C-alpha cells in the first residue's frame, strides 16, 4: 500500500491502495489523506465517504486468489477528485454491479434517497455492493462509471469510477 497525500492544481494521484490490505491500513490511509488535504470539511467528508465505501470492496476482494490485485486510487484533477477502483469478481457479481450502476444512473436525488432507504431496510445480503454504490452516486451527484471486462469463464474485471466535484461542496 502506498499513500501520497497532498493537493495541487495539477492532476495527480493523491492516494493509492493495492490489495491485500486490512481495515486498519485503510483507516490509516484515509486519516492521512483527510488530514493533509486543504479543503472544506464537507468536501473532505464526502471524499472520505466515497473512498471508504469503495475501499471496503477492495478489502473484500483482497483475499481473492485472482492474479489481479484489487486497487483503489484517488486522483486530484484540480476541479474534482476521481476515485477509481478495480477488482476481479465472479461474472455474476460483476453483472450485478453493472446493473446497480445502470439502474441508479438516471435517478434523481429523491429517487436515490428512496431506493437507498428501501435497500437499507432489506435483510442483509453478503457480497452485494448495492447500497454502497447508491450512496456513492448520491454523494457525488454525478453518474458513476462502470466497466466490466471478462477475464475468464470464472472471472471478470470490474472497474468503477466516481467523480466528486470540488465546487459542488464549497
Partner 1 sequence: MLMSTFEIPATDYTPHVFEDSKTGVIWFKGEAYPENASAYFQPIMEWIRSRIAEKQPLKLAFSLDYLNTSSTKALLDLLAILEIYHQQGGKVSVIWYYPCDLEVMKETGEELLHDFSLPRLLEPVGRLT
Return residues touching partner 1 (CB under 8 A): 23-24, 26-28, 31, 41-42, 45-46, 48-49, 52-53, 56, 59, 113, 117, 120-121, 124, 131-132, 135
Coil, helix or strand at residue 70: coil
Least CB distance to partner 1 at residue 112 (A): 12
- Those residues with Cβ within 8 angstroms of residue 140's Cβ, 6 or more apart along the chain or in another chain: 46, 50, 162, 163, 164, 165
Q: In what order do the strands lie in the sheet with 12-18?
A: 2-3, 12-18, 71-76, 80-89, 156-165, 145-150
CA–CA distance, 57 with 169 (Å, rounded to integer): 25
Least CB distance to partner 1 at residue 32 (A): 11
Q: Which is nearer to partner 1, 120 or 149 (CB)?
A: 120
Q: Which is nearer to partner 1, 28 or 98 (CB)?
A: 28
Q: Which is nearer to partner 1, 122 or 149 (CB)?
A: 122
Least CB distance to partner 1 at residue 149 (A): 26
Cα→Cα distances 137→38, 88, 111, 153, Å: 24, 21, 11, 30
Least CB distance to partner 1 at residue 142 (A): 16
Q: Which is nearer to partner 1, 155 or 164 (CB)?
A: 164
Amino acid at each position: 500500500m502506498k499513500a501520497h497525500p497532498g493537493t495541487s492544481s495539477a492532476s495527480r494521484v493523491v492516494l493509492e491502495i493495492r490489495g491485500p490490505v486490512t481495515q486498519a491500513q485503510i483507516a490509516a490511509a484515509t486519516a492521512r489523506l483527510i488530514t493533509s488535504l486543504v479543503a472544506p470539511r464537507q468536501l473532505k467528508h464526502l471524499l472520505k465517504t466515497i473512498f471508504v465505501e469503495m475501499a471496503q470492496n477492495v478489502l473484500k476482494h483482497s483475499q481473492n486468489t485472482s492474479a489481479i490485485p484489487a486497487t483503489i486510487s484517488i486522483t486530484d484533477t484540480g476541479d474534482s477528485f476521481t476515485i477509481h477502483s478495480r477488482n476481479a469478481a465472479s461474472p455474476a457479481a460483476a453483472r450485478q454491479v453493472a446493473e446497480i450502476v445502470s439502474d441508479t444512473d438516471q435517478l434523481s436525488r429523491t429517487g436515490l434517497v428512496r431506493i437507498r432507504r428501501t435497500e437499507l431496510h432489506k435483510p442483509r445480503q453478503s457480497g452485494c455492493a448495492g447500497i454502497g454504490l447508491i450512496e456513492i452516486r448520491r454523494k457525488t451527484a454525478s453518474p458513476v462509471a462502470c466497466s466490466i471486462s471478462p477475464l475468464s469463464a470464472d472471472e471478470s474485471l470490474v472497474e468503477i469510477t466516481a467523480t466528486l466535484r470540488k465546487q459542488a461542496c464549497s
